[in-house]
Amino acid sequence: MSNFNQERVLSVHHWTDTLFSFTTTRNPSFHFRSGEFAMIGLKVDEKPLLRAHSLASAHYEDRLEFFSTKVPDGPLTSRLQHLKAGDEIIVSREATGTLVIDNLEDGRNLYLIGTGTGLAPFLSVIKDPETYLRFQNVVLLHGCRRVAELAYGEMIMEKLPGDELVGDFVRYQLIYYPMVTRDRFRNRGRITDLIASGKLFTDVELPELDPQHDRVMVCGSPALVRDARELLVAKGFVEGDHGEPAQFVFEKEFAERNG
């Protein structure tokens, strides 16, 4: 049996010249936990060309959603960006990944730190009721260079609070904090700097990060992941893994790196 399902593209949305999202059909046998990724791609010369992409759709939705970026000369993304409704893509039958709440100990506040397309896994995490049953406050931090790159802001601010399943949770427990480094914006600066200076906590009206009460997931460029990890370890946070839940987990964002 093949390790892949064939899916059909349902819609494509271009956020900027380089950032785009698309939805596909979902084989009913495909299951995943919020925060996981799948291998997706195209058949090129009869061979599968695959890259990891986080599932941005909720685990209960009947379509799959992916948030991707065009890597110049990237073998897959340079092709994926031309996808249109009706095209076929292949999706691995299994999903995996470390950014799942099962890898975290119980706590009071859950911080989701994503830069660029590193937001993607957290889109499924914030649509999962389980997230809000485990944590009192869920703080979603999305850092980008430009305002135009703050994809999904409208969905998070305007659509999700009215959602039938998670709307109440979102209204009372989700704090969305977008930030930008290279344009004028109300929240300006790097995530790590806003944490180190304490400005973030003043803005979201929560106490400074504390390993006793806070849990953190990080997804972004290798540099972001390295620096965020250093910052968390210096504050006494312990890294979690499969079978060994702890206080933070991270994953390097995929699309940017692997083309």
| Of the residues 41, 97, 107, 143, which one makes contact with ligand A2P according to CB under 6 A | 143
- Closest approach, Cβ 208 to ligand A2P, in A, equals 18
| Of the residues 76, 125, 144, 232, which one makes contact with ligand A2P according to CB under 6 A | 144
Q: Which of 99, 116, 28, 100 is nearest to 64 (CA)?
A: 28
87 is written with which tokens? 């095209």
74 is written with which tokens? 């990237």
The answer to whether 251 and 121 have CB atoms below 8 angstroms apart is: yes
Looking at the Cβ atoms of 173 and 192, the one nearer to ligand A2P is 192
Strand pairing class (19-25; 4-14): antiparallel
Q: Is 257 in the site for ligand A2P (CB under 6 A)?
A: no
Looking at the Cβ atoms of 41 and 118, the one nearer to ligand A2P is 118
Number of residues that bind ligand A2P (CB under 6 A): 15
- Closest approach, Cβ 131 to ligand A2P, in A, equals 23
Q: Which of 58, 26, 52 is nearest to 38 (CA)?
A: 52
The answer to whether 192 and 231 have CB atoms below 8 angstroms apart is: yes
The answer to whether 103 and 242 have CB atoms below 8 angstroms apart is: yes
Residues 187-246 that bind ligand A2P (CB under 6 A): 190-192, 220-221, 223-224, 227
- Closest approach, Cβ 223 to ligand A2P, in A, equals 4
Residues that bind ligand A2P (CB under 6 A): 115-116, 143-145, 181-182, 190-192, 220-221, 223-224, 227
